[in-house]
Chain A
């Protein structure tokens, strides 16, 4: 910056202009009276003249003009003849410096236009009535706009460049992501428009709303805006654009209109496609119009139209996809989607469609549904593209997933030709996977199967009904009281039958639990065998499943119960293993009693499988059951009272419950960090990826009872599945292309609107309509690090204090969570009682042990929090839906509350609320409020549904209109205020005996509902999230 000019004062600047490169005036400011006509003439002459000369100072019409081209702008400062031109150049340079600083070095038309109001302010600050002190220009730093750091929202366009790189439209940003390395480049394409279409050949062409940009090698080479919404375009030497008013415009690359054809049927389009300069237009009157022809059949608005090789593919509000033969007009209707269908595309013999119902479906051209891919939260898949059998989908949740179309046949086994039948001379009875498939038949013949059948041995004592249990590479067989392990046989002495054996490997030891009617015996097998413990079963508890980790035994019952034992193996008398031995049971240790029993965790259906994991001092127990639920619990030492049937020194806490299927869940398999759930629905066996929330594999097999599964890897590239059918073992192996990239290309954000956000100790926590509490780290970029589901309905508000997070929402849900940032855990620890009004908790605030909620049933509720919520006091003083509450300490605790009538009420907080005073601030609802003590005075900033921001200091109310729509977020600090609103503007103010406008920044998040500020960071949420730095 030019510092040497500091003390020079100019006296007679006449005017300042900015033109674009075509001579269009963008800004002008005159410091003397001039007729508009004369001004226009002057500007035109000036531009014409300066365009032709090369010098940057000219004398013109008794004026001294200095100017400078900057990118696509021409900037002029005009002074009187007596003015020193060097000083004018100084003003010009300073002004350019200041602007370019303000525009973050993007001194170009687009960013200038978006920030014109602030540029004008800079101008006003620097030149006052034609008089200026250059020193002032240098101090424009305070005008810095907010810098956009990261953004996550709906993914509205996808396009593969090649089989490694994917172009992504996320708001106004274009991303280029390598689907293998996840390396990502980002480029801002539009100022305000969201990218809705991407096409790619040598050039990339991107459109959104009325804007279009042409890129080469990920650099914008042309961009322009037209006068109508762009529905579709076709790109060649010229660009053919179909607009929402059903016109076909031909433009050159600079956006100049070459010709325009107004289609006869002049009505609004939601969708359409241009093909060889003719249009297939999808009207809101449910028809597709092409030339003179109309394709009629849809019962709702059309959301997409594609054309290829004589066929039209269309999707609609009526939940169908339709495939039309252009020639004959014949139509195939695809039924299956449960919501509006946004788009469908052709790919080889397939049709791939995406919908509001959050699914992507693949069909053949006859309309048969081949698969359903779900994994974008609860609503909306917005974009899709395919290349080389890889399908990419972009969701309303901001996530991008990849799906393997080639695997379709491999992942969905319908046909016996895909299944091998293992031919055995006799009827097999049981089997299990080691490296091979181990089989025992009705005659006691043992086989090993791998690429072929091998008979290993025969033991006639294992005739009849034998069982095989495999533990990694070990095989255990049992039959009544007889156990076979590594060619050794043990006979348990008692008569009672063995019901089940569970085995676990610990180093060189194999621990087996033998479950019998009255007891569970535990043996250690190594070079020797020893009876190391006896567990006594709980009453009415038939053990169906068991897990052991060396310290804790967890059993699941046939009737939905869970039972835990504390059990560590003690050394006992070892028995040398002989080839065939009787095990005496008289030296039995004393039976161990359960330490915890929880009934009905799966209703009264069987607990079919358990996953036991240690997390620090605690255990996480995950279970699946025949009620189709997947549950997770924390199990830890605690003396707290519980309402469990039995809990001695331990407690069990539900973390989450999810219904995965209407059928049965049978198995949990954890590979790496991925959890797979296997189960049956109707006649199908399926594997569901819990971590990714989607079905991965299924077999039409009708064999619920006897089956075994072995999953080899996290991506499910290799798996084996054997099942019993018609007295034979059927075997399915899936061995797939291991080069397919990770499915979760981009982590999702919330799948529905976010309602509340807050910075908490280095993370951003947010909650919204999808009822999932989500945590993001935000260093350089937003990254989801944790999410928890507990709320049944939407989350609307949250507050944080000393490791405790409070959340509230619809259906009167109010929770307290313990947040541990180090270990990244967030555990719900308390819940408030609901009243029966079904009211929504609109806001909450916490201070010390005091929690106050604002409720839609007009009540303010005051709770004391001490490991639980105690309702101390409630009042319906407002008589309207209460929208905001804030507690503040200032010589006593005070509460401010605000409601839909625009009033803000101040209360003194004791063990109840005492009315102090009220202010009528807004015409209608108060949608944002912040309360701070500044200069020893309580200040209340608020934003209203009436578009106003206001500030109460003492008894004075200041207010101003700076937003075009409701103000939904506000932040107050010393000397400064920031607000955001539905108009997608972030406005910054100076507080100085009132509110003073400083800057306005466009926010790319729609439907903004909350904002939080922490140090230099600002986070704004709504339909997505955006992070700014100031």
Chain B
């Protein structure tokens, strides 16, 4: 299989390169926005787990020349973007959270596309993913204004109903959405929580952050919404490449992957 094979198999990967996005994820945010209109009336935004930065690119375009603040956070180093404040840090760590909070009084929208490097041990991956989501929520609970929106990546595995139950206690509306650009074959989806209304007596804290629930007996199901236009490209479809098609290199390869030394060593 040649380089272009991934282009055929993955139309959004190809589109992203053509349209100058750092990652195909950009379309996921665009399609969710299409369905839920995330950006209207929004000024302050936190983009958690933002590297390489395609969501931030979407935000930076959308809010260009508007009076607003965008803070992007990631473990990995991220190439700078106009109008976006980049912080490098671990979102599960208190110090990172504090640094984010410093930038805001209140935010209107928190988005998190965080995902661990999947190991292949499903329980582990699902757990780490849930922890990222809860860490994102802990930060959210400090900065999000009442009525605000929280969007986060979620793995649709065996424990998903627990997270849904949990988010239900803090938000009036909870949806599971799947943008058409997210592969059908992938277990990723997004949990969209609208109208933040924490219980009156809820005090966000880092001393005892919200931990995931114990297994409850409830089997809570959230409404499912497929996002994006039905006529959009299909992420699972194989599209032919046109005559004279040229392979484009990815816009922004990872800056410091963990196996960098390993690769360097192998090359020599």
Kindly state the separation between the CA atoms of A880 and B121 in the bound complex, as whole angstroms. 31
Contacts of A880 in B (CB 8 A): 234, 236-237
Which chain B residues have a beta carbon within 8 Å of chain A's beta carbons? 1, 5, 8-9, 75, 90, 92-94, 116-117, 119-124, 127-128, 131, 135, 156-158, 160-161, 164, 176, 178, 180, 184, 187, 206, 209, 211, 214-215, 217, 219-221, 224-226, 230, 234-240, 258-262, 265
Contacts A193-B123, A299-B259, A1002-B158 aside, 20 further interface pairs with beta carbons under 8 A come to A117-B219, A191-B215, A265-B93, A268-B135, A285-B75, A299-B258, A299-B260, A319-B262, A320-B262, A335-B265, A340-B119, A838-B238, A857-B238, A880-B237, A900-B180, A900-B237, A901-B230, A945-B184, A947-B176, A948-B224
Kindly state the separation between the CA atoms of A853 and B46 in the bound complex, as whole angstroms. 46
Whether A883 and B184, one on each chain, are in contact in the complex, defined by CB atoms closer than 8 angstroms, is yes
Q: Which of A364-405 contact B (CB under 8 A)?
A: 379-380, 382, 396
Contacts of A1002 in B (CB 8 A): 158
Which of these, B124, B184, B209, contacts A900 with CB under 8 Å?
Answer: B184
CB pairs A–B below 8 angstroms (5 shown): A208-B123, A228-B211, A837-B240, A900-B184, A983-B158
Q: Report which residue of B93, B131, B217, B235 has the largest number of chain A beta carbons within 10 angstroms of its beta carbon.
A: B217
Q: A209-B127, A284-B75, A284-B92 are in contact. Are A983 and B236 (CB under 8 A)?
A: no
Give me the 6 closest cross-chain CB pairs, A-B, nearest first: A300-B258, A1006-B122, A965-B156, A924-B226, A881-B236, A984-B158
Which of these, A270, A319, A964, contacts B259 with CB under 8 Å?
Answer: A319
Whether B8 and A1006, one on each chain, are in contact in the complex, defined by CB atoms closer than 8 angstroms, is no
Whether B215 and A225, one on each chain, are in contact in the complex, defined by CB atoms closer than 8 angstroms, is yes
Kindly state the separation between the CA atoms of A299 and B1 in the bound complex, as whole angstroms. 30
Whether B240 and A857, one on each chain, are in contact in the complex, defined by CB atoms closer than 8 angstroms, is yes
Q: Which of A912-956 contact B (CB under 8 A)?
A: 923-925, 927, 945-948
**CB of A154 within 8 A of chain B?**
yes
Whether A839 and B226, one on each chain, are in contact in the complex, defined by CB atoms closer than 8 angstroms, is no
Whether A983 and B128, one on each chain, are in contact in the complex, defined by CB atoms closer than 8 angstroms, is no
Q: A194-B123, A318-B258, A924-B178 are in contact. Are A964 and B184 (CB under 8 A)?
A: no
Whether A267 and B215, one on each chain, are in contact in the complex, defined by CB atoms closer than 8 angstroms, is no
Contacts of A228 in B (CB 8 A): 211
Q: Report which residue of A266, A380, A948, A965 has the largest number of chain B beta carbons within 10 angstroms of its beta carbon.
A: A965
Kindly state the separation between the CA atoms of A1007 and B239 in the bound complex, as whole angstroms. 26
**CB of A317 within 8 A of chain B?**
yes
**CB of A113 within 8 A of chain B?**
yes
Kindly state the separation between the CA atoms of A396 and B124 in the bound complex, as whole angstroms. 14
Kindly state the separation between the CA atoms of A316 and B235 in the bound complex, as whole angstroms. 32
Whether A982 and B262, one on each chain, are in contact in the complex, defined by CB atoms closer than 8 angstroms, is no
Whether B120 and A379, one on each chain, are in contact in the complex, defined by CB atoms closer than 8 angstroms, is yes
**CB of A159 within 8 A of chain B?**
no
Whether B5 and A838, one on each chain, are in contact in the complex, defined by CB atoms closer than 8 angstroms, is yes
**CB of A99 within 8 A of chain B?**
no
Whether B238 and A839, one on each chain, are in contact in the complex, defined by CB atoms closer than 8 angstroms, is yes
**CB of A430 within 8 A of chain B?**
no
Kindly state the separation between the CA atoms of A612 and B124 in the bound complex, as whole angstroms. 48
**CB of A858 within 8 A of chain B?**
yes
Whether B156 and A983, one on each chain, are in contact in the complex, defined by CB atoms closer than 8 angstroms, is yes
Contacts of B176 in A (CB 8 A): 947
Whether B258 and A382, one on each chain, are in contact in the complex, defined by CB atoms closer than 8 angstroms, is no
Contacts of A901 in B (CB 8 A): 230, 234
Q: Report which residue of A113, A268, A301 has the largest number of chain B beta carbons within 10 angstroms of its beta carbon.
A: A268
Q: Which of A843-868 contact B (CB under 8 A)?
A: 855-858
Whether B234 and A881, one on each chain, are in contact in the complex, defined by CB atoms closer than 8 angstroms, is yes
Kindly state the separation between the CA atoms of A74 and B221 in the bound complex, as whole angstroms. 30
Kindly state the separation between the CA atoms of A720 and B119 in the bound complex, as whole angstroms. 43
Q: Report which residue of B119, B127, B180, B209 has the largest number of chain A beta carbons within 10 angstroms of its beta carbon.
A: B119
Contacts of B260 in A (CB 8 A): 299
Q: A227-B211, A319-B262, A923-B225 are in contact. Are A1000 and B128 (CB under 8 A)?
A: no
**CB of A429 within 8 A of chain B?**
no
Kindly state the separation between the CA atoms of A948 and B225 in the bound complex, as whole angstroms. 11
**CB of A220 within 8 A of chain B?**
no
Whether A881 and B238, one on each chain, are in contact in the complex, defined by CB atoms closer than 8 angstroms, is yes
Contacts of B1 in A (CB 8 A): 838
Q: A924-B178, A964-B219, A983-B160 are in contact. Are A154 and B9 (CB under 8 A)?
A: no
Kindly state the separation between the CA atoms of A380 and B187 in the bound complex, as whole angstroms. 20
Whether A857 and B237, one on each chain, are in contact in the complex, defined by CB atoms closer than 8 angstroms, is yes
Contacts of B8 in A (CB 8 A): 837-838
Which of these, B123, B184, B226, contacts A927 with CB under 8 Å?
Answer: B184
Whether B160 and A923, one on each chain, are in contact in the complex, defined by CB atoms closer than 8 angstroms, is no
Contacts of B5 in A (CB 8 A): 838
Kindly state the separation between the CA atoms of A664 and B219 in the bound complex, as whole angstroms. 59
Kindly state the separation between the CA atoms of A984 and B238 in the bound complex, as whole angstroms. 29
**CB of A966 within 8 A of chain B?**
yes
Q: Please name the residue on chain A nearest to B127 by beta carbon.
A: A229
Kindly state the separation between the CA atoms of A584 and B119 in the bound complex, as whole angstroms. 73
Whether A317 and B90, one on each chain, are in contact in the complex, defined by CB atoms closer than 8 angstroms, is no
Kindly state the separation between the CA atoms of A285 and B88 in the bound complex, as whole angstroms. 12
Whether A1023 and B122, one on each chain, are in contact in the complex, defined by CB atoms closer than 8 angstroms, is yes
Q: A924-B226, A983-B157, A983-B158 are in contact. Are A301 and B117 (CB under 8 A)?
A: yes
Kindly state the separation between the CA atoms of A536 and B127 in the bound complex, as whole angstroms. 69
Whether A900 and B221, one on each chain, are in contact in the complex, defined by CB atoms closer than 8 angstroms, is no
Whether B187 and A982, one on each chain, are in contact in the complex, defined by CB atoms closer than 8 angstroms, is yes
**CB of A583 within 8 A of chain B?**
no
Kindly state the separation between the CA atoms of A299 and B127 in the bound complex, as whole angstroms. 22
Closest CB in chain B relative to A980 CB, distance in Å: 12
Contacts of B123 in A (CB 8 A): 193-194, 196, 208-209, 1006
Kindly state the separation between the CA atoms of A344 and B136 in the bound complex, as whole angstroms. 32
Whether B158 and A116, one on each chain, are in contact in the complex, defined by CB atoms closer than 8 angstroms, is no
Q: Please name the residue on chain B nearest to A838 by beta carbon.
A: B8
Whether B158 and A838, one on each chain, are in contact in the complex, defined by CB atoms closer than 8 angstroms, is no
Closest CB in chain A relative to B174 CB, distance in Å: 13
Q: A318-B259, A1023-B122 are in contact. Are A858 and B237 (CB under 8 A)?
A: yes
Q: A117-B217, A225-B215, A881-B234 are in contact. Are A966 and B262 (CB under 8 A)?
A: no
Whether A267 and B90, one on each chain, are in contact in the complex, defined by CB atoms closer than 8 angstroms, is yes
Whether A317 and B258, one on each chain, are in contact in the complex, defined by CB atoms closer than 8 angstroms, is yes
Contacts of B220 in A (CB 8 A): 964
Q: Which of A789-814 contact B (CB under 8 A)?
A: none
**CB of A626 within 8 A of chain B?**
no
Contacts of A316 in B (CB 8 A): 258
Contacts of A379 in B (CB 8 A): 120
Q: Please name the residue on chain B nearest to A1023 by beta carbon.
A: B122
Closest CB in chain A relative to B152 CB, distance in Å: 16
Whether A227 and B214, one on each chain, are in contact in the complex, defined by CB atoms closer than 8 angstroms, is yes
Closest CB in chain A relative to B142 CB, distance in Å: 15
Closest CB in chain B relative to A263 CB, distance in Å: 12
Whether A266 and B128, one on each chain, are in contact in the complex, defined by CB atoms closer than 8 angstroms, is no
**CB of A840 within 8 A of chain B?**
yes
Kindly state the separation between the CA atoms of A584 and B60 in the bound complex, as whole angstroms. 96
Kindly state the separation between the CA atoms of A210 and B122 in the bound complex, as whole angstroms. 15
Q: Please name the residue on chain B nearest to A283 by beta carbon.
A: B90
Q: A113-B215, A883-B184, A964-B156 are in contact. Are A946 and B224 (CB under 8 A)?
A: yes
Interface readout for A124-164 with B: 1 if CB under 8 Å, 0 if not? 00000000000000000000000000000010100000000
Whether B238 and A837, one on each chain, are in contact in the complex, defined by CB atoms closer than 8 angstroms, is yes
Kindly state the separation between the CA atoms of A826 and B221 in the bound complex, as whole angstroms. 44
Kindly state the separation between the CA atoms of A974 and B179 in the bound complex, as whole angstroms. 36
Whether B258 and A984, one on each chain, are in contact in the complex, defined by CB atoms closer than 8 angstroms, is no
Kindly state the separation between the CA atoms of A857 and B238 in the bound complex, as whole angstroms. 5
Closest CB in chain B relative to A320 CB, distance in Å: 7
Whether A947 and B224, one on each chain, are in contact in the complex, defined by CB atoms closer than 8 angstroms, is yes
Closest CB in chain A relative to B6 CB, distance in Å: 10
Closest CB in chain B relative to A382 CB, distance in Å: 7
Contacts of B119 in A (CB 8 A): 303, 340, 342
Contacts of A840 in B (CB 8 A): 9, 238
Contacts of B209 in A (CB 8 A): 245
Whether A881 and B214, one on each chain, are in contact in the complex, defined by CB atoms closer than 8 angstroms, is no
Q: Which of A200-243 contact B (CB under 8 A)?
A: 208-210, 225, 227-229
Kindly state the separation between the CA atoms of A740 and B217 in the bound complex, as whole angstroms. 48
Kindly state the separation between the CA atoms of A985 and B161 in the bound complex, as whole angstroms. 12
Whether A270 and B128, one on each chain, are in contact in the complex, defined by CB atoms closer than 8 angstroms, is yes
